[in-house]
Structure 1
Amino acid sequence: MKRVVVGLSGGVDSSVAAYMLQQQGYEVIGLFMKNWHDDTVTISNECPWLEDSNDALLVAEKLGIPFQTVDLSEEYKEKIVDYMFNEYEKGRTPNPDVLCNREIKFDVFMKIALSLGADYVATGHYCRKTEINVNGETVYQLKAGADTNKDQSYFLCQLSQEQLAKSLFPIGELTKPEVREIAAQMDLITADKKDSQGLCFIGKVRLPEFLQQKLQPKEGVIIQIDKNDPIYTIQKQDDLALEEALQAESQKMPYSPNMGKVVGKHQGAHYFTTGQRKGLNVGGTTDPLFIIATNVETNTIYTGLTSQHPGLFKKALKIENEELHWIRKDLALANGESVNYMVRIRYRQPLQRATLHQFENALYIAFDEPQSAITEGQFAAWYLKDELIGSGVIS
């Protein structure tokens, strides 16, 4: 009988994952991760971890499986929260959920599980794992969940072969309504529980307040750039080599304050992100304002009217080699190689057609259609049909 440790979060997905493993004949142990102590920045009662751990305990009791809580708040602070502060300070927008899976659930947590004699760690993610044989070696494939509406493979885009080897995703073949139905049949307390929102394990936080713990407010100006500004009609040079052309397509627009008009003030460029619409508190515009760029050095925010403003769109992005990750190492590109994949640059974005170009120091992704709000610090992930092949941090 193989032993599996399930990360019981107190939600319906992990509850049903534990039940299904039990049905499949595994010896199941439930483990709840406590990752956060500071309630001052969470929006009241939106992530009461006590309630979650209590629900997880009740599920474990109902299923008759051993249960314990592990406190990973120190590791979480160091690997996730400090990283987030660091990234925001640099003017990048991190994805804590992707990091939480790579650094906490499938690393720190997995090591604890294996130390308890577990063969596998299981989570309630909507994704699937399969294995194939490549040149006599077992290769694990990470595939999208059967419920296309809930597919969470993107959040696992940084996992390694070693991590996948020890992972199980019991609900990957199910849809959310099917999961809720199983929970209801089993009379699990989590059957009708709302899905958790917000940061992995912290819950809903007011981001500016959360960031203000470390990053000081600093007043700056909000500039509006006209959609007909000459910067958008600069002629492309035709004689550029491919790498130079991609470099030009993916780099930041060189905005400066004198190119537009001041429409408001903000409390720190590092609290804002490209594509953001809410929280600017600028009134009196004919259409909604969107952030098209931020500059943390000059503490300036650049905006444009409507979601179709040319400043929001780019045809390419760049990933530095050290921030490049192949789940399928056997498919990694060599210098000079190109390949067509489907790519997404944020969770729930429909997959987009693109070509990956690998050069000596970086990988470039060139999209067939210009993409809105390509954001530094976020993850781009590429797929072949429903299999996630690799990912990287947008630079």
Structure 2
Amino acid sequence: MKRVVVGLSGGVDSSVTAHLLKEQGFEVIGLFMKNWHDDSVTISNECPWLEDSNDAMIVAEKLGIPFQVVDLSEQYKERIVDYMFAEYEKGRTPNPDVLCNREIKFDVFMDIALKLGADYVATGHYCRKGEEIIDGKPVYKLLAGKDNNKDQSYFLCQLSQEQLTKALFPIGELTKPEVREIAKEADLITAEKKDSQGLCFIGKVRLPEFLQQKLQPKEGNIVQIPSDFSQYIKETPKFVNKEAELDYFATKFSYSEEDGKVVGKHQGAHYFTKGQRKGLNVGGTKEALYVIETDVNTNTIYTGEGKNHQGLYRNTLFVSNEEIHWIREDLVLNIGEIMEVEARIRYRQALEKATLHKVDTGLYVQFVNKQSAIQEGQFVAWYKNEELLGSGVIS
């Protein structure tokens, strides 16, 4: 009988994961990861992890499986929270959920599971795992979940072959309503429980307040850039080669305060991210203002009116060599090679046609259509026919 450790989070997805594995004849152990109880960074008076760990324990009792709580808060603070602060300080926007899967669930947590003699680690992610023998060796594939509304493959875009070998995703073939139905039939306490919101394991966070623990508020200007800004309407130059063209289109617009007019004040450029509309508190424009760029060095936020403002759109982005990650190591591109893919730059975004271009210093991703709010620090993930092949941090 194979042993599986399930990351029981106290939600319906992981509860059904444990239930299905037990039905399939696995020996199942439930572990709850306690990742957050750092009172120096209070987020709210609620204590979501306590309620969640209780729900997880009740589910484990109902299923008749062993259960324990493991405290990973130290590793979580080091690998996720400190990284987040450092990225925001540089004016980038990290994705803690992607990191949390790579660094915590499928690394620290997986190590604990393997020490408990587990053959596999299972999570309640809406994605699937495939396998194919290539050149005599098994190659594992990360496939999108069957439920288009819930596909969570993007959050696992940094997993490695080694991590996938040991991973199971039992609900990947199901839709959310089907999962809730199974939970109801099995009489699990989590059947009607709302989906958790916000950061992986922390719950709802008011980001500026969260960041203020480490990044002090500092007043700066909000500048509005007109839609006919000179850089938007200049003629495209002739390029000596494809790489020069890619570099040109991947380079973001640069602004100074003289390029627009000061329309308000903010309390810190590092609290804002591209494409953001809320929190600017500037009135008097026909359409809402959107953040089109932040400059943490001068502590300035640049905005444009309306969600079609040209400052929001680019069709090419760059990933440096250190930040390229291939799940399918057998498909790695060599310098000068290209690959037609579909890609997304955020969770729940529809996949868009794109071409990968491998160059000496990294990888360009050139989209057919312009993308809104390409944000440094976020992950771009590329797919072919439902399979996530690789990803990278946007430079």
TM-score range, shorter chain: over 0.9
Tell me, in whole angstroms, the C-alpha distance in 2 between the residues paired with 1:69 and 1:239: 58
Cα shift at 1:44 = 4.4
Tell me, in whole angstroms, the C-alpha distance in 1 between the residues paired with 2:350 and 2:239: 33
Say whether the 8 Å CA contact 1:197–1:204 is kept in structure 2: yes
Tell me, in whole angstroms, the C-alpha distance in 2 between the residues paired with 1:196 and 1:297: 35
Say whether the 8 Å CA contact 2:219–2:267 is kept in structure 1: yes
Tell me, in whole angstroms, the C-alpha distance in 1 between the residues paired with 2:14 and 2:135: 35
* Matching of residue 282 in structure 1 with residue 275 in structure 2: no
Tell me, in whole angstroms, the C-alpha distance in 1 between the residues paired with 2:269 and 2:351: 30
Q: What does residue 43 of structure 2 align with?
A: 42
Secondary structure of the 1:349 match is: coil
Cα shift at 1:43 = 3.9
Tell me, in whole angstroms, the C-alpha distance in 1 between the residues paired with 2:28 and 2:37: 28
Amino acid paired to 2:25: G
Tell me, in whole angstroms, the C-alpha distance in 2 between the residues paired with 1:48 and 1:68: 17
Tell me, in whole angstroms, the C-alpha distance in 2 between the residues paired with 1:306 and 1:240: 35
Amino acid paired to 1:262: V
* Matching of residue 336 in structure 1 with residue 336 in structure 2: yes
Q: Return 62-71 or 274-283, whichever deviates more.
A: 274-283
- C-alpha deviations, 1:348-373, integer Å up to 9, x for none? 00000000000011100111011110
Cα shift at 1:48 = 1.2
Secondary structure of the 2:128 match is: strand
Q: Return 239-248 or 110-119, whichever deviates more.
A: 239-248
Cα shift at 1:206 = 0.9
Say whether the 8 Å CA contact 1:41–1:206 is kept in structure 2: no
Tell me, in whole angstroms, the C-alpha distance in 1 between the residues paired with 2:15 and 2:240: 55
Q: What does residue 102 of structure 1 align with?
A: 102
Secondary structure of the 1:56 match is: helix
Tell me, in whole angstroms, the C-alpha distance in 2 between the residues paired with 1:248 and 1:379: 21
- C-alpha deviations, 1:222-271, integer Å up to 9, x for none? 00000011110121111332111111111121111000000000111011
Q: What does residue 223 of structure 1 align with?
A: 223
Q: 1:69-108 alignment to 2 at 5 Å?
A: 69-108=69-108
Q: What does residue 195 of structure 1 align with?
A: 195
- C-alpha deviations, 1:151-196, integer Å up to 9, x for none? 0000000000000000000000000000000000011000000000
Say whether the 8 Å CA contact 1:41–1:205 is kept in structure 2: no
Segments of 5+ residues of structure 2 without an aligned counterpart are none
Q: 1:271-310 alignment to 2 at 5 Å?
A: 271-310=271-310
Secondary structure of the 2:18 match is: helix
Tell me, in whole angstroms, the C-alpha distance in 1 between the residues paired with 2:240 and 2:353: 23
Say whether the 8 Å CA contact 1:321–1:363 is kept in structure 2: yes
Amino acid paired to 1:41: T
Q: What does residue 391 of structure 1 align with?
A: 391
Q: What does residue 268 of structure 2 align with?
A: 268
Say whether the 8 Å CA contact 1:319–1:394 is kept in structure 2: yes
Amino acid paired to 2:144: A
Amino acid paired to 2:350: P
* Matching of residue 312 in structure 1 with residue 312 in structure 2: yes
* Matching of residue 155 in structure 1 with residue 159 in structure 2: no
Q: Return 280-289 or 177-186, whichever deviates more.
A: 280-289
Q: What does residue 4 of structure 1 align with?
A: 4
- C-alpha deviations, 1:6-60, integer Å up to 9, x for none? 0000000000000000011100000000000136632443x61100000000000
Tell me, in whole angstroms, the C-alpha distance in 1 between the residues paired with 2:96 and 2:57: 26
Tell me, in whole angstroms, the C-alpha distance in 2 between the residues paired with 1:158 and 1:322: 13
Across the aligned residues of Structure 1 and Structure 2, the Cα RMSD in angstroms comes to: 0.8
Tell me, in whole angstroms, the C-alpha distance in 2 between the residues paired with 1:208 and 1:377: 17
Say whether the 8 Å CA contact 1:145–1:173 is kept in structure 2: yes
Secondary structure of the 1:149 match is: coil
How many residues matched? Answer: 394
Tell me, in whole angstroms, the C-alpha distance in 2 between the residues paired with 1:232 and 1:41: 43
Could you state the TM-score of these two structures normalised by the residue count of structure 1? 0.99
Could you state the TM-score of these two structures normalised by the residue count of structure 2? 0.99
Secondary structure of the 2:201 match is: coil
Say whether the 8 Å CA contact 2:33–2:71 is kept in structure 1: yes
* Matching of residue 52 in structure 1 with residue 71 in structure 2: no
Secondary structure of the 2:280 match is: coil
Q: What does residue 251 of structure 1 align with?
A: 251
Cα shift at 1:116 = 0.4
Secondary structure of the 1:315 match is: strand
Say whether the 8 Å CA contact 1:346–1:378 is kept in structure 2: yes
Tell me, in whole angstroms, the C-alpha distance in 2 between the residues paired with 1:272 and 1:65: 44
Tell me, in whole angstroms, the C-alpha distance in 1 between the residues paired with 2:44 and 2:262: 32
